[in-house]
Chain A
Amino acid sequence: MYKAILYKEWIKIRWWVIGYLVVMLGSLIYIGLDVRQWFEMNDAIRVWLYVIQRSVPFFKSLKFIPVFAGILLAIIQFVPEMVKKRYRLTFHLPIDENKSLLFMSFVGLGMIALFSLLVLVSLAVVSSIYFPHEVSAISLLTVAPWLLASFVAYLGASAITVDPSWKYRVVYAVLLYPIVQSLFLGGNLGLYRFSLISYIFLSLIFILIVLFPGYRLRKGSRL
């Protein structure tokens, strides 16, 4: 059964995967070329000090890409289910509705995790070519909340898409905005050193939130 759901999910998200891959690889290549250009045009030591003393992330152009990709994935995965109430077919499958909804979420989360890994590995490679390891470490720490935001935004947008009523959609949006925004505060390196773990714990709660809208959908709640 899960295999069948996985296949169905893949059909929905394959274009997203290709699109995100193209955009992400493009921006990673851009970042690599951009850093290379910095070193070509300036004294290497000045580039280092610019990054180290002014605490400027050299990869800030990818800042908002993951969070938009997360929202887009939720829409791509769940809007087709909501159109003509197709999702209701799931209730006739020999599988618990909560489990199937969670499984769909985990497919999405898994894809986002793969892309996050791609970002982390590529940044580690680019930064270790041009910078000492201290800079690589703090760079990964800096990109982490932006990647975390893509998981949170995906889960939040899923709940918004699944819920049958507009009132609740607004509530979820009000809930989602400040928490996602919390992951984009400040433009400097290493600012989330002490709070990242708290934000990760907070994000874990998001895994559960799509089930309530799912339940409301099954019950046909309109309130």
Chain B
Amino acid sequence: MIPKISRYAIIILFIVALSILLPSLYWMIFDKPIQAPMVFYSSIKKGFLFSENRTGNESEYFDNEGNTYDRKTFRTLLPLSYYSDLLKWNILPDNIDGIPISYSIIRNKSLNFSFEPKDLNTPIIDLYPLFESQSDFARLELPGELFRVGTSLEFIDAETNKIITAKSQEFTQALHDAGFQFPAKYIAGNPTTRKPFDEGYFIIDAANSVYHLKQIKGKPFCVNTGISSDLNIRFIKVQENSMKEYYGAIVTKTNEIYLIRYNNYSLTKLPVDGYIADEMTFRLQCNPIYRMVKYYDDKGLTYTVMDSNYNYIDTYQTCWTPREEWTSSKIAAIVFPFSIERKSGDYRYIKFKFVFTGKLAFIGILLGLIITLFLKVNIYHEKLRDNWFDFVIVLFSGLFGTLAVLLIRPEPWD
């Protein structure tokens, strides 16, 4: 009995190994890149433009109405994206719709702000540097300590690895005075010196209120932002920029995105219908005239254009054949009833996740049962009654199981 159980232990592990190895080998051969068009909004034509790599290295440029363009015309229709080219050709307009435009205006008022599923699903060590946000010097400097917010705010000195008591107490008191309830649930900031200035951290307290913490001339600055505590915030990305239009963005657990504005932490809800934080990359592009929101995954893309006050102008949506509908995916679904996913592009953590391939797997399972029965009866002449559990294994694991029970044969049991 025990050696029999041991055999099944080996079979189960072998199936696990196959469901890691075989699907990844299969996709190494049959995977292909997704052909997605690049989408632009033309400030000249007031419409969407596209470029797509269709034939080798040659890109095609076209619009919604079926017009195609050569590369140079295409770029002249997009002065806010290709201003360097237009400047070189001496055709950069000095205004668009009366809004003055120049190389430096475009450079100063253009901004990319983005995050992807990986940014939300990544291990975080909750220790942060608190910069001096009103330094006398031009560049930001690293402090000598990091802070944590547990049952109090603690600064830990990096040289000694000890808590700096006085400063910790001062900042804890400031948070208390602002109404902060320890411990912190979430801390978001932009902990780098490679930014024009510092806006500190947004910290969610135990009561789900959002606080803003900065260090100004060595002293704590701490306020309750008044951002609703029912927002169900999942993720905050802070990105200081010289446009000073927003501190950053909030992603809620219900996949809404809000910008935190400079004007008294008011929130601007972005038009992101159908956005899924765990699957899609989000991008906000700003230029002197428009604000553009784009979110996409391997199934489709949505691109919405707003004016500089975030009023809706136009939206474009497209989708392409999802991976599941490729022929190669359907064959994979028949051959592999499941696979084990360990890494994915959307998730920085390592997983151990059974991914079932759906109804097509039953074809593979039926095939597996037939092959197993045929070979066991006709070739191996095994006693089926002694090893009926082999068929249960195949029933649950399809051709993986077939391979396993045929390679790891039953012994003449005692």
Give A contacts to B, CB under 8 Å.
43-49, 52-53, 55, 98, 129-132, 134-135, 138, 159, 167-168, 171-172, 174-179, 182, 185-186, 188-195, 198-199, 202, 205-206, 208-212, 214-216, 219, 221, 223
CA–CA, A115 and B412, complex, Å: 39
Lowest 10 A-B CB distances belong to which pairs? A190-B123, A215-B3, A44-B158, A211-B6, A212-B6, A198-B352, A208-B9, A45-B158, A178-B20, A195-B352
A191 touches B156 (CB 8 A): no
CA–CA, A187 and B258, complex, Å: 34
Question: Residue on B with the closest CB to A183?
Answer: B350
Kindly state whether residue B161 has any CB partner on chain A within 8 Å.
yes
Query: Which residue from B6, B21, B123 sits with its C-beta under 8 Å from A55?
Result: B123
Kindly state whether residue B148 has any CB partner on chain A within 8 Å.
yes
CA–CA, A176 and B20, complex, Å: 11
15 A-B residue pairs with Cβ-Cβ distance under 8 Å, sorted by A, are A43-B142, A43-B158, A45-B158, A47-B158, A52-B146, A53-B191, A134-B148, A135-B127, A176-B17, A178-B21, A186-B348, A190-B123, A205-B12, A208-B6, A212-B6
B125 touches A134 (CB 8 A): yes
Question: Residue on B with the closest CB to A180?
Answer: B17
Chain B stretch 132-179: residues in CB contact (< 8 A) with chain A: 142-146, 148, 156, 158-159, 161
Question: Residue on A with the closest CB to B124?
Answer: A190
A202 touches B352 (CB 8 A): yes
- Looking at the complex, which of B96-104, B322-330, B403-411 is the stretch in contact with chain A? B403-411
B12 CB contacts on chain A under 8 angstroms: 205
A191 touches B13 (CB 8 A): no
A171 touches B14 (CB 8 A): yes
Q: Scoring B residues 344 to 356 as 1 if CB is less than 8 Å from chain A, else 0, what string do you get? A: 0000111111000
Overall SS of chain A's interface = helix
If A48-B146, A134-B148, A159-B10 touch, does A178 touch B2 (CB 8 Å cutoff)? no
If A55-B123, A185-B350 touch, does A174 touch B14 (CB 8 Å cutoff)? yes
Interface size counted on chain B using CB atoms at 8 A: 43
Kindly state whether residue B395 has any CB partner on chain A within 8 Å.
no
A212 touches B7 (CB 8 A): yes
B411 CB contacts on chain A under 8 angstroms: 212, 215-216, 219, 221
The interface centre, meaning the residue of B126, B148, B350 with most chain A CB atoms within 10 A of its CB, is B350
If A45-B142, A186-B343, A205-B12 touch, does A175 touch B17 (CB 8 Å cutoff)? yes
Expressed in whole angstroms, the minimum distance between the Cβ of A143 and any Cβ of chain B is 14
The interface centre, meaning the residue of B17, B143, B351 with most chain A CB atoms within 10 A of its CB, is B17
CA–CA, A159 and B351, complex, Å: 27
CA–CA, A52 and B156, complex, Å: 14
CA–CA, A180 and B134, complex, Å: 51
A191 touches B10 (CB 8 A): no
Query: Which residue from A44, A175, A179 sits with its C-beta under 8 Å from B144?
Result: A44
A46 CB contacts on chain B under 8 angstroms: 142
Expressed in whole angstroms, the minimum distance between the Cβ of B405 and any Cβ of chain A is 12
CA–CA, A221 and B414, complex, Å: 13
CA–CA, A176 and B144, complex, Å: 47
CA–CA, A112 and B348, complex, Å: 30
The interface centre, meaning the residue of A52, A98, A210 with most chain B CB atoms within 10 A of its CB, is A52
B191 CB contacts on chain A under 8 angstroms: 49, 53
A205 CB contacts on chain B under 8 angstroms: 9, 12-13
Kindly state whether residue B36 has any CB partner on chain A within 8 Å.
no
Kindly state whether residue B342 has any CB partner on chain A within 8 Å.
yes
Question: Residue on B with the closest CB to A152?
Answer: B13
Question: Residue on B with the closest CB to A208?
Answer: B9
The interface centre, meaning the residue of B5, B6, B349 with most chain A CB atoms within 10 A of its CB, is B6
If A182-B342, A199-B352, A219-B412 touch, does A44 touch B159 (CB 8 Å cutoff)? yes
B407 CB contacts on chain A under 8 angstroms: 167, 171
Expressed in whole angstroms, the minimum distance between the Cβ of A134 and any Cβ of chain B is 5
CA–CA, A208 and B411, complex, Å: 16
- Beyond contacts A179-B13, A188-B123: 18 other A-B pairs, Cβ-Cβ < 8 A, are A45-B144, A47-B158, A48-B127, A48-B158, A52-B127, A132-B156, A135-B127, A138-B123, A182-B20, A186-B343, A190-B123, A195-B342, A202-B352, A205-B12, A208-B5, A208-B6, A215-B3, A219-B411
Kindly state whether residue B368 has any CB partner on chain A within 8 Å.
no
B348 CB contacts on chain A under 8 angstroms: 186, 188, 191
Kindly state whether residue B248 has any CB partner on chain A within 8 Å.
no
A221 CB contacts on chain B under 8 angstroms: 411
CA–CA, A222 and B353, complex, Å: 36
B14 touches A175 (CB 8 A): yes
CA–CA, A175 and B13, complex, Å: 6
Expressed in whole angstroms, the minimum distance between the Cβ of B146 and any Cβ of chain A is 6
CA–CA, A130 and B162, complex, Å: 10
